[in-house]
Chains A and B, each alone.
Chain A
Amino acid sequence: LAKTTQPISMDSYEGQEVNITCSHNNIATNDYITWYQQFPSQGPRFIIQGYKTKVTNEVASLFIPADRKSSTLSLPRVSLSDTAVYYCLVGDIEDTGRRALTFGSGTRLQVQP
């Protein structure tokens, strides 16, 4: 299984850009990288997904270097409501063709006023 490593926590202030990096050295050729956001007492919510280079949607950008051994989630101009835990997800294709999934340990982002 591809293992992921993220910083345990980060602090920021409202209006700043926040970049969270995830390391995934054993990523497989066909794997996508997916990021989720989780608020207390709720299930995780999909934010963004990418395979290589850069992906942008209405809430975030995802930067993936050519070797794909890491990825960086970028949140522009964060607000207090962005305070949450952010998870990096990378999947494996097992020998049987089934999928196995590994969530990272998560990064707890605290946004201050």
Chain B
Amino acid sequence: NAGVTQTPKFRVLKTGQSMTLLCAQDMNHEYMYWYRQDPGMGLRLIHYSVGEGTTAKGEVPDGYNVSRLKKQNFLLGLESAAPSQTSVYFCASSPPPDRISYEQYFGPGTRLTVT
């Protein structure tokens, strides 16, 4: 049981390049989330998904796209990277929505630098 895994762990991009961050969970969780954390700041929600085939915008969705083709995977895409997207990206998942709770399980993070 690996929990939540993220690929890659580190990446350096040039402005304008694109990339996809992969999040995988093996806990059969319905909900998945992508956050970004800038230095010294709290986490901000980018996009989230409440089930396979669904996605929704969070607090800071601009410049990102997501897809949830399989229940266990949640992909975060940057079509044209900008230096303002330099951050640490965390993926999380949470149990099925049979109760109003927010216990989330986080991955180890992906450190992205855009030059």
Contacts and interface: CB of A to CB of B under 8 A. Distances in A.
A91 B102 contact: yes
Nearest to A29: B100
Contacts of B42: 87, 103-106
Interface in B40-75: 41-45, 48, 50, 56, 58-59
Contacts of B35: 103
Interface string B96-115: 01001111111111000000
Contacts, number: 63
A46 B103 CA distance: 6
Contact of A43 (B45, B97, B101, B107): B107
Interface residues of B, number: 27
A88 B89 CA distance: 19
Interface string A43-59: 11110010000000000
Output the residue of A1, A49, A99 with the most chain B CB within 10 A. Answer: A99
B106 A49 contact: no
B44 A103 contact: yes
A98 B56 contact: yes
A102 B47 CA distance: 12
Nearest to A51: B100
